[in-house]
Amino acid sequence: MRCLASLLVTIVLCYSGVGLLDAQQSGRSAAERQDRKVNSQRILDAAALKGFLSKKLHKLPLAALMAAVHDEDTPQQIDAAGCEALLGRIGINNAKLAAAIHSFFDPGKTGIIDKREVAISLSVLCSASSQSAKLDFAFKLFDEDEDKNLSEAELVSFFQMFRNPIMSVINRSMEVFYDTCGYRDEFKQVIAKLAQDTFEDHVKAIVTDAFSSDLDANKQLDAAEFVAWSGANKNVGKWVDNLSRLVLDSLAAEVTIDDFQPGDFAFE
Ligand SMILES: [Ca+2]
Ligand SMILES: [Ca+2]
């Protein structure tokens, strides 16, 4: 995450002072003012939606969220109807929210997403009594085949869920730059390639770091080894929360508080 942030900051700083932009000064200022206004509104909308959902979900335990995800009747990959059904199983009956979460994790329009992505989206708003409850939630999220061990493939699969939220943040951050520089398609491709490569390097580094806690060297992390890793790396407990926040920030573009009706939340 830090690498990607540095990359973005570096790129924006490199290009924000180029001389060829001076000729467009007046138009750019108006565009910048408009962008700032849109950005400010988006931040306010996201904060309002998060505040609203937080009030609704704070009594929902993480364990209940996980139980719905591990329900044997729900396949690992779900379509839009499956996403709505899964939210319904959790006690959230709002088709627009389900559609927004599904479409957020399916930018390529494949029609399917991972059911864990639904759980992660809302997890930061649910009640978690302790850090160990959060780590237990994280361990179960990572453990895709539920054999109580984490393989390298399972860790990679978890971090792949960050790909769309991170690319979405990068694209949003770079919009002003693309509009201003005038080489939208070319720069977009370059930035996308740089961001993808940095992302892959970052995931590899995290997985290598994780397996330094594989004390019995069986290429699996059991619960004790996972706890040892989280003790040595304070980010482990935060990754799920960070991913949840990234998703919630983006949902505000699709859903507002007005889209909810009394009774949408069965557990109130
Ligand atoms: Ca496993
Ligand atoms: Ca092990």
| Mean pLDDT computed over 59-75 | 87
Confidence of residue 23 (pLDDT cuts 50, 70, 90): very low
Angle at 56 between CA 49 and CA 254, to 5 degrees: 30
Is the pLDDT assigned to residue 263 strictly greater than 60? yes
The ligand minimizing its distance to the Cα of 212 is: 2
Exposed, middle or buried by CB within 10 Å (0-12, 13-18, 19+), for 33? exposed
Decide if 180 is inside a domain.
Answer: yes
| Mean pLDDT computed over 85-105 | 94
The ligand minimizing its distance to the Cα of 225 is: 2
Confidence of residue 53 (pLDDT cuts 50, 70, 90): very high
Question: What distance in angstroms lies between residue 122's CA and the mean position of ligand 1's atoms?
Answer: 23
Range of 239's domain?
30-259
Q: According to the model, what pLDDT value does residue 31 have?
A: 64
Look at 132 and 50; give whichever has higher pLDDT. Answer: 50
Is the pLDDT assigned to residue 33 strictly greater than 80? no
Distance CA 6, CA 9 (A): 5
Confidence of residue 35 (pLDDT cuts 50, 70, 90): low
The ligand minimizing its distance to the Cα of 226 is: 2
Question: What distance in angstroms lies between residue 120's CA and the mean position of ligand 1's atoms?
Answer: 18
Question: What distance in angstroms lies between residue 215's CA and the mean position of ligand 2's atoms?
Answer: 6
When the pLDDT of each residue in the chain is averaged and rounded to a whole number, the result is 83
Decide if 8 is inside a domain.
Answer: no
Pairing of strands 113-114, 149-150: unpaired
Decide if 24 is inside a domain.
Answer: no
Confidence of residue 28 (pLDDT cuts 50, 70, 90): low
Q: Looking up tokens 């978690």, which residue turns up?
A: 128
The ligand minimizing its distance to the Cα of 145 is: 1
Confidence of residue 236 (pLDDT cuts 50, 70, 90): confident
Confidence of residue 9 (pLDDT cuts 50, 70, 90): very low
Q: According to the model, what pLDDT value does residue 198 have?
A: 87
| Mean pLDDT computed over 23-44 | 64
Q: According to the model, what pLDDT value does residue 101 have?
A: 94
Decide if 5 is inside a domain.
Answer: no
Distance CA 111, CA 265 (A): 26
pLDDT in tens, 154-213: 999 988 888 877 887 788 788 888 888 778 888 888 888 888 888 899 889 999 999 999
**Which residues keep their CB under 5 angstroms from ion ligand 1?**
143, 145, 147, 149
Residue 172: partners with Cβ closer than 8 Å, 6 or more residues away = none
Q: 137-155 burial string, b = 16+ CB within 10 Å, else e?
A: bbbbbbbbeeeebbbeebb
Decide if 204 is inside a domain.
Answer: yes
> Which of 192, 124, 208, 204 is CA-nearest to residue 160?
204
Decide if 19 is inside a domain.
Answer: no
**Which range, of 60-64, 104-108, 125-129, 221-225, averages the lowest pLDDT?**
125-129
Distant-in-sequence contacts of 176-182, Cβ < 8 A, 24+ apart: 176/31, 176/32, 176/35, 177/11, 177/12, 177/15, 177/16, 179/31, 179/35, 180/21, 180/24, 180/28, 180/31, 181/15, 181/18, 181/21
Q: According to the model, what pLDDT value does residue 225 have?
A: 96
Distance CA 104, CA 88 (A): 18
Decide if 18 is inside a domain.
Answer: no
The count of structural domains within the chain is 1
> Which of 144, 151, 147, 149 is CA-nearest to residue 115?
144
Question: What distance in angstroms lies between residue 217's CA and the mean position of ligand 2's atoms?
Answer: 5
Is the pLDDT assigned to residue 20 strictly greater than 50? no
Is the pLDDT assigned to residue 86 strictly greater than 90? yes
Q: Checking phi first, is residue 169 left (phi over 0); if not, alpha (psi -120 to 50) or beta?
A: alpha
Distance CA 238, CA 230 (A): 10
Decide if 47 is inside a domain.
Answer: yes
Could you tell me how many residues make up the chain?
A: 268
**Which range, of 17-26, 77-86, 141-150, 210-219, averages the lowest pLDDT?**
17-26
Distance CA 65, CA 178 (A): 39
